Amino acid sequence: MKKTCWIIGASQGIGEALAKSYYAQGFNLAISARNLEKLEQIKEQFLLLEKKPQEILVNKVDVVDVNSLAEARDKILENFGQIDLVIFCSAVYQPTSVIDFDLMAAKQTIDVNLNGFLNLLNVITPQMVKQKSGQIAVIASVAGYCGLPKSFAYGASKAALINLCEGIYPELQKHGIAISVINPGFVKTRLTDKNSFKMPFIISVKSAAEEIVKGLQKRQFEIHFPKKFTFFLKVLRLLPYQLFFFITKKIV
């Protein structure tokens, strides 16, 4: 029986690259995003590039609307019978200054990045508990390791995702469900294109997808890359605040 992978936020960037990878591997594929037209284009491209016997199911989903996620889940189950892997790639990012604070933009960041994933957990966890199997993955960020200037709303949403996944890991494991939190450094996407500063160790979406696929195959809890950059930030968060702020002030 073919395994089914559901990718949410698959219309571009890492999500699109992951969709291509799992389709090439022979998974039944469900791809979701708000942009239905782009998803249909991706489906046509995949079918032209590789003639595979498995299906590609397209669903329009807004992650802040729990009902749209539930409807997509039901459609996937109706077509494939089971969901083996779900990857939450949806995210919004806007460089943010607390001096010129945009409250609506900050709230949207939390709604999509954090509350959207909570909505997904609400619709997918009961199904995987019923199956007694499954794997859930969410793309967080190294920005969640510690507070960084110009990124406070985005970083806070990603820090919450890391904390959330740490908290639910033991309970899900008891039910045979794996949870993975993915913490990339800088990846060349529409989100990082908004940055005006030099981004060290930036990688392509293809390279990011390869790292994620490898980590998910091993059912790793944390998947982080590129290692030279992520290890630096892991050390940074352990520093005393006086030294930590000395370094982060230079970013401002």
pLDDT, one tens digit per residue, over 48-101 is 876 666 789 999 999 999 999 999 999 999 999 999 999 999 999 888 888 888
Find the CATH number of the domain harbouring 33. 3.40.50.720
Residue type, 37: E
Distance separating alpha carbons of residues 181 and 222, to the nearest angstrom:
5
Structural domain for 20, as ranges: 4-248
**% pLDDT > 70, the chain:** 94
- Total count of domains within the chain: 1
Task: Judge whether residue 252 has pLDDT over 60.
Answer: no
Of the listed ranges 101-105, 190-194, 209-213, 233-237, the one predicted with least confidence:
190-194
